[in-house]
Amino acid sequence: MKEKLMIVSLGLLPLIMVLGNSMLIPLLPSIQKSLHLSGVQTSLILSVFSIPAALCIPAVGILSDRYGRKKLIMYSLIVMIIGSFIAASSASFSSGSFAVLMAGRVIQGIGAAGTTTLAMALTGDVFIGEKRAKVLGLLEVYNGAGKVVAPIIGATAALVVWYAAFFVYPLAAGAALVGIVMYVREGKTGSESVSVQEYLKRAIGIVYDKRKWLFPLFFVGGLGLFLLFGILYYLSFLIEETYHIDGFF
C-alpha cells in the first residue's frame, strides 16, 4: 500500500508540470480582458513559465545529485506554491497587476523545474528492473492524462473567477508535498556528485557524441510544442470571440 501511495505521489509531479501551462489555455481571453493586456503580454503568460523551468532543470539536476532528489522535490513544490499565490494576487492590484502575474509565473516555472525530471530520476534511484520501467510508464500516463484534463480543470475553477485557477496549483502541489514527505523514500545521494565544471564537461560530451539524433529530436520536439501551444492559444481566442463559446463550455 505504501509503495502505491509513493507511486501516486511521484505521479502528481508530472501532472503539476503539465498544469503549469495547459490549465491556463482556455482562460487566456478572460485574463487578457480582466488585466487589459495586449496579445504579446498574454502570450508571455505561457512563456515566462516554460523558459525558467527549462533553464533551471540542469541546475536542479546538479543540486539533487548533491543534496538528494527528495529534498529538491520538496523545495521545488514549496517554491511553486509561493509563485501560485503571487500570481493569484495579481487580480487584486489596480496597477502593476501584469508585473505581479509575471513574477508569480516565473517563480512557478522555477519550482516546476524540480517536478517531472526529478520524479523520473528518483524513480530510477529507488526502483530497479521491470518495476522501474513500469513506474516510469505510469509517470508518463500521469503526464498524458494531465494534458487532457488540465484545460477542463482550469476552466472549471474559472467558473468562479479567472484567478481561482491559480489556487489549483497549491492544492495539487500541497497534495504531492504531503505524499512525498510521508511515502517517498530517498534514493542514493552524494555518491555521484560532481563539480559544476565536470557536469558541464560531461553534458557537452554527451551532446557532441549523440548530436546526430539529439539535435533533430530537440528541434522536432520544440517545433511540435511551439505549434501545439500556438494553435491552442489561437483557438482559445477564436472560439470565444468568433463563436462566443467561453470558459468551461
Find the length of the chain: 249
Q: 117: which DSSP letter?
A: H
Select from 246, 99, 245 the least CA-distant residue to 158: 246
Single-letter amino acid, residue 166:
F
Select from 77, 73, 66 the least CA-distant residue to 188: 66
Q: Which three cell numbers stand for residue 200?
A: 558541464
Query: Are the beta carbons of 49 and 109 closer than 8 angstroms?
Result: yes
- Block residue for cell numbers 540542469: 58
Distance CA 67, CA 123 (A): 16
Q: 184: which DSSP letter?
A: P
- Block residue for cell numbers 510521508: 182
What was the pLDDT predicted at 185? 81
Distance CA 135, CA 216 (A): 28
Structural domains for the chain = 2-243 (1.20.1250.20)
What was the pLDDT predicted at 188? 61
Chain-centroid distance of CA 185 in Å reads 22
Distance CA 166, CA 82 (A): 11
- Block residue for cell numbers 498524458: 144
Per-residue pLDDT of the chain (249 residues; tens, 9 = 90+): 888 999 999 999 999 999 999 999 989 998 998 999 998 999 899 999 999 999 999 889 888 888 899 999 999 999 999 999 999 999 888 788 999 999 999 999 999 999 999 999 999 999 998 999 999 999 999 999 998 899 999 989 988 888 999 999 999 999 999 999 999 887 665 555 677 788 888 889 999 999 999 999 999 998 998 898 889 888 888 888 888 887 677
Please name the helix (run of DSSP H) or strand (run of DSSP E) that holds residue 165, with its range, or none.
none
H-type alpha helices, the chain: 2-22, 28-35, 39-67, 69-89, 97-112, 116-126, 129-157, 168-183, 196-209, 211-243
- The pairs formed by 137-144 with CB atoms below 8 angstroms and a separation of 24 or more are 138/7, 138/11, 139/10, 139/11, 139/13, 139/14, 140/14, 141/11, 142/11, 142/12, 142/14, 142/15, 143/14, 143/15, 143/17, 143/18, 143/116
Query: Are the beta carbons of 113 and 51 closer than 8 angstroms?
Result: no
Q: Which three cell numbers stand for residue 164?
A: 481561482
